[in-house]
Amino acid sequence: MAIDESLITIAAEAAEPVLRVYGWRPRGISIGKNQEAGSINLKACVRDNVPVVRRITGGGAIFHADELTYCLAWP
């Protein structure tokens, strides 16, 4: 998620759009910008070795597994 956030700066400085396509290994959970981390069972995530990261966008928790994810940053 930190890479996605840095792409915003890169796109603005280069005055060019940037597209990043990626998958999740290991599977993990991303939570929205304003979501309370306590709204998910963090102890279970630690126990089951499921990483939890925060997105710069809003919305609720998303479990990322066998999928393709993208980030498009536009100046």
> 14-62 pLDDT, tens per residue?
999 999 999 999 999 999 999 999 999 999 999 999 999 999 999 999 9
Predicted local distance difference test score (pLDDT) of residue 40? 94
Answer whether residue 16 is part of any domain. no
CA–CA distance, 63 with 70 (Å, rounded to integer): 15
Predicted local distance difference test score (pLDDT) of residue 30? 95
> How many beta carbons lie within 10 A of that of residue 71, not counting itself?
19
Answer whether residue 41 is part of any domain. yes
> Range of 42's domain?
22-68
Answer whether residue 60 is part of any domain. yes
Answer whether residue 47 is part of any domain. yes
Answer whether residue 36 is part of any domain. yes
pTM for this prediction = 0.81
Predicted local distance difference test score (pLDDT) of residue 41? 96
- On whether the CB atoms of residues 63 and 27 are closer than 8 A, the answer is yes
Name the band, by pLDDT with cuts 50, 70 and 90, for residue 1.
Answer: confident
The number of domains in the chain is: 1
